[in-house]
Amino acid sequence: MKYEIVHTNTFKYENEVDQSLNTIRLKPLTDEVQRLLMYRADITPASLTKEYIDLWGNQVETFFIPEKHTLLEVKTTSVVSIQRDSYIHEIRYSQRMQDIFNSKLFRQHYLSYLNETDYTLLSPEHLSEAERELGKMDNPVQYALKVMNYVYSTFTYCGDATSVSTQARQAFGLKKGVCQDLAHVMIGILRAGRIPARYVSGYLYVGEDSALKGDAATHAWVEVMVPGIGWVGLDPTNNVEALDNHIRVGTGRDYADVSPLQGVYRGGSSTLEVSVSVTLLEQPGD
Q: What is the Cα–Cα distance from 60 to 114, expressed in whole angstroms? A: 24
What is the model's pLDDT at position 209? 57
Q: What is the Cα–Cα distance from 170 to 65, expressed in whole angstroms? A: 36
Residue 85 CA to chain centroid, in angstroms? 19
Q: What is the Cα–Cα distance from 220 to 147, expressed in whole angstroms? A: 16
Sequence-ordered alpha helix ranges (H) in the chain: 95-102, 104-109, 124-134, 140-154, 168-174, 179-192, 255-258
What is the model's pLDDT at position 285? 64
For residue 115, the number of C-alpha atoms closer than 13 Å in the C-beta half-sphere is 9
Where along the chain do the CATH 3.10.620.30 domains lie? 95-258
The conformation of residue 279, written as its DSSP 8-state character, comes to E
CATH class, 95-258 region: alpha beta
Q: What are phi and psi of 210, to 5 degrees?
A: -105, 145
pTM above 0.85, yes or no: yes
**12 and 273 Cβ atoms separated by less than 8 Å:** yes
Where along the chain do the CATH 2.60.40.2250 domains lie? 2-82+259-282
Q: What is the Cα–Cα distance from 258 to 58, expressed in whole angstroms? A: 8
What is the model's pLDDT at position 213? 84
What is the model's pLDDT at position 84? 86
Q: What is the Cα–Cα distance from 272 to 259, expressed in whole angstroms? A: 14
Residues in the chain: 286
What is the model's pLDDT at position 116? 96
Residue 35 CA to chain centroid, in angstroms? 18
Strands, E, within the chain: which ranges? 2-24, 34-44, 50-53, 59-65, 69-82, 156-157, 176-177, 197-204, 219-226, 230-235, 240-241, 246-252, 261-266, 270-282
For residue 125, the number of C-alpha atoms closer than 13 Å in the C-beta half-sphere is 4
- What does each of the 286 residues of the chain score in pLDDT, given as a tens digit? 999 999 999 999 888 888 889 999 999 999 989 999 999 999 999 999 999 999 999 999 999 999 999 999 999 999 999 998 888 888 889 999 999 999 999 999 999 999 999 999 999 999 999 999 999 999 999 999 999 999 999 999 988 889 999 999 999 999 999 999 999 999 999 999 999 999 999 999 998 757 788 777 899 999 999 998 999 999 999 999 999 999 999 999 999 999 999 988 887 788 999 999 999 998 876 6
CATH architecture of 2-82+259-282: Sandwich (2.60)
What is the model's pLDDT at position 270? 84
